[in-house]
Amino acid sequence: MSTDCAGLAHDALPAPGEGAGELDRACPSCVVKRLGVVDYAPALEAMRVFTAAREAATADEIWLLQHPPVFTLGQAGKAEHLLQNPAGIPLVHIDRGGQITYHGPGQLVAYLLIDLPRRALKVRELVLLMEQAIIDTLADYGIAAERKDGAPGVYVAGDKIAALGLRVRKGCSYHGLALNVDADLTPFGWINPCGYPGLRTVRMHDFGVADDVAAVGERLLGHLQRLLPPMRAVEAAPSGS
């Protein structure tokens, strides 16, 4: 089940469940990993492997990172939404919902690897939660943002500032959200963002925000932790006695 929508050192991506993360005190059931700049393909593979290997007691994880320039096209995506590509940016077909979007340096990406039933969450509720966390983060900086009916994501005066996309397998989510902080928005002009011709994209920097991706990431993380429902107790399997 799914739903929408160069010149930097690349940090090594840890093996699923290992390294570069710690249980967060504000959300003790979540391992938070701050991964730096990571190529898209290994990040996607790590999410898939982690999700496939999950067990009932596996801690949820939130990954904060950036990607080098890449276009990603969702399951129902149409290639014609890539209008031009003068920079030769890679195009990756992926398993989330939604159409085409762009990731690049200066954009905060948060991947939410969450066991939904364990938190009594439905997919739509997780989407709304992510949108609210972004809206609250932007409000911290004095930016009034909102949802748009029928078009998942977060908007400022009708212009898109954040995109969402999820994949859910056996009740566990992966992929997540992307918030434009101080990214170069030029590549968005080469696509129909999320399949909408003429949709304008904006970034936090356009509204006078000086904080970098890492600082914004910590604010977003705090709101995600606050909004995530607590985990329900996992019942032990009955013994044979």
* Per-domain boundaries in the chain: 2-227
For 165, which DSSP code? Answer: E
Q: Are 203 and 182 in contact (CB under 8 A)?
A: yes
Q: 202-229 pLDDT, tens per residue?
A: 999 999 999 999 999 999 999 999 999 9
Mean pLDDT of the chain: 86
Strands 100-103 vs 70-73: parallel, antiparallel or unpaired: antiparallel
Phi, psi dihedral angles at 183 (to 5 degrees): -70, 155
Number of Cβ atoms within 10 Å of the Cβ of 147: 16
189 in a labelled binding site:
no
Using the predicted structure, report yes or no on whether residue 16 has a pLDDT greater than 50: no
Using the predicted structure, report yes or no on whether residue 19 has a pLDDT greater than 80: no
For 231, which DSSP code? Answer: P
Residue 140: per-residue pLDDT: 98
179 in a labelled binding site:
no
163 in a labelled binding site:
yes
Counting residues of the chain whose pLDDT is more than 90, the rounded percentage is: 68
99 in a labelled binding site:
yes
Residue 30: active-site member: no
Both structure tokens of 118? 């364990």
83 in a labelled binding site:
no
Q: 28-85 pLDDT, tens per residue?
A: 568 999 999 999 999 999 999 999 999 999 999 999 999 999 999 877 777 778 889 9
Q: How confident is the model at residue 21 (pLDDT cuts 50, 70, 90)?
A: low
Pick the CATH number of 2-227 from 3.30.930.10, 1.10.357.10, 1.10.510.10, 3.40.50.150: 3.30.930.10
Q: Which is the catalytic residue, given 5, 27, 30, 194? A: 194
